[in-house]
Chain A
Amino acid sequence: MKRRDFLRHSLVFVSGASVSLAALEFVSVGELLAARPEARWGFLVDTYRCVGCGFCVKACKIENDIPLEANVTRTWVERYLILKDGRVLADSPKGALHGFTDQRVDRAAEGFEEVSNQEIASAFFVPKLCNQCDNPPCVQVCPVGATYQTADGVVLVDHKWCIGCGYCIMGCPYGVRFFHPVEHVADKCTFCYHRISQGLDTACAQACPFGARRVGNLRDPDDPIARILLTQRVGVLKDEFGTKPQVFYLGLSKEVR
């Protein structure tokens, strides 16, 4: 083979080989539109009903194999105390795994703060969980494609594929992601994907005696959750971030972040 031929052939081979497989998959817009599925899971939290018993947190941890006493949780309940002098106190001891049984507010390093009943203007509980955003920033930052959104709108983490870099944990504006202490990968609420895809309630919604947590299909006009979202005034957390959260709150107030 002549040197010139050899060079030409190897050039052709290498440029062919370097077109990565992903680049050959063209996305058709028609296919994308046709793929609009029947289900889009959403969640409704009614803060008026929540009593702060924390059974949802316990159920979530047991259902999803999150070590009970580890300082991480997929869902938690926050207590807000709005005082008459305008101060806002918030706490969530152990994510409310054992509920709220103490009138004093847990101020972490500063210890417990006594608040007298006369000072309190308003106080309530706000359950938090993954918002399963329509524009999830955590998914955008994943360098290896280990976290993604399913066709029915749930953001999942591929535990086998995750390299544990932690970008998604930093990228979530709601702080719902954490490093799994046993699996050593990123982890987060899945809306109990294994339960909802079998027609069961999420573990937290099933555990709630007061109906403060409910999961539903937003694409089904007869779904009770969808009806409430259409007819009542609901709010979402950190709307200004443009993440389009799919966890909706009844009774949200401006103090809640």
Chain B
Amino acid sequence: MKNHVWRPLFVVIGLVALILLARAFYVPADFGTHERGYMYSYNRTGNIEEWKAFEAKYRGSQYCQGCHEDKTSALSAAQHAIIPCENCHGAAFGHPDDPEKLTVDRSRNLCLRCHAALVTPGSGRIQLPGIDAQNHNPGIECSDCHNPHHPNLAEMQG
């Protein structure tokens, strides 16, 4: 073959070799095919550990028990016992160190998530006591009348 064919070819070959060399350095050692083969597990295994190390923010209601005994015992005896504290107060993160306080959400919307009367035959919603938000004491926070940790109507003081 002629020289003018080989010369550009060398350039191409050199480039390919260079790219492969760069790849060998750039791609981490733990990158490759794993349990599920090339199609489903062609990845960096280190990432699995990275995901496992992700910070959990929700601590669960048992965590609150030690310090907010009054609230926990009130709640556990009420119809609301099934609701985790963090649903209404937000994730604990590092509370009480950081943040020092959790949010106290007194909005009507918090309660209406479950108590707005919706016609939903075929779901668990119809089993919850529903109110019509427009007509049930509009403009007043629910917790002014109902105790969120112990909403028992029979024990409600006027």
Which residues of A does B touch, CB under 8 Å? 7, 10, 13-14, 17-18, 20-22, 25, 27, 32, 35, 37, 47-55, 58-59, 62-64, 79, 98-103, 117, 120, 122-125, 135-136, 139-140, 145-151, 156, 158, 160-161, 190, 192-195, 197-198, 200, 203, 206-207, 209-210, 212, 251
Check if B122 sits within 8 Å of A209, measured CB to CB.
no
Complexed CA–CA distance, A195 and B54 (Å): 9
Q: Could you tell me the distance in whole angstroms from the C-beta of B120 to the nearest C-beta in chain A?
A: 4
**Which residues of chain A are near B52, meaning CB under 8 Å?**
193-194, 197-198
Query: Hey, which chain A residues are within 8 Å of B84, CB to CB?
Result: 206-207, 209
The reply to whether B13 and A14 form a contact with Cβ atoms under 8 Å apart is yes
Q: How many B residues touch A, CB cutoff 8 Å?
A: 59
In angstroms, how far is the closest chain A Cβ from the Cβ of B65?
15
Given contacts A14-B13, A63-B58, contact A124 B120 (CB under 8 A): yes
Q: Which of B38, B86, B125 contacts A59 (CB 8 A)?
A: B86
Of A101, A123, A158, which is within 8 A of B122 by CB? Answer: A123
Cβ contacts under 8 Å, B31 to chain A? 145
Q: Contact between A59 and B58 (Cβ–Cβ < 8 Å)?
A: yes
Please count the residue pairs between chain A and chain B whose beta carbons lie under 8 angstroms apart in the complex. 179
Chain B residues whose CB sits within 8 angstroms of the CB of A123 once the complex forms: 118-123
| B10 to A, closest residue via Cβ | A10
Q: Is B128 an interface residue (CB 8 A)?
A: yes
CB distance from A104 to the nearest CB of B (A): 10
Q: Are B35 and A151 in contact (CB under 8 A)?
A: yes
Query: For chain B residues 48-75, which have a beta carbon within 8 Å of chain A?
Result: 48, 50-58, 60
Question: Which residue of the partner chain, among A53, A192, A251, contacts B113 with CB atoms under 8 Å?
Answer: A53
- The reply to whether B114 and A18 form a contact with Cβ atoms under 8 Å apart is no
5 chain-A/chain-B pairs, Cβ below 8 angstroms: A100-B113, A100-B118, A123-B122, A151-B41, A160-B47
Chain A residue numbers with a CB within 8 Å of B42 are 145, 148
| Closest partner residue, chain B, to A26 (CB atom) | B33
- Please pick, from B43, B119, B133, the residue contacting A148 in the complex, using a CB distance under 8 A: B43
Contacts of A149 in B (CB 8 A): 36, 40-41
Contact, CB under 8 Å: B82 / A156? no
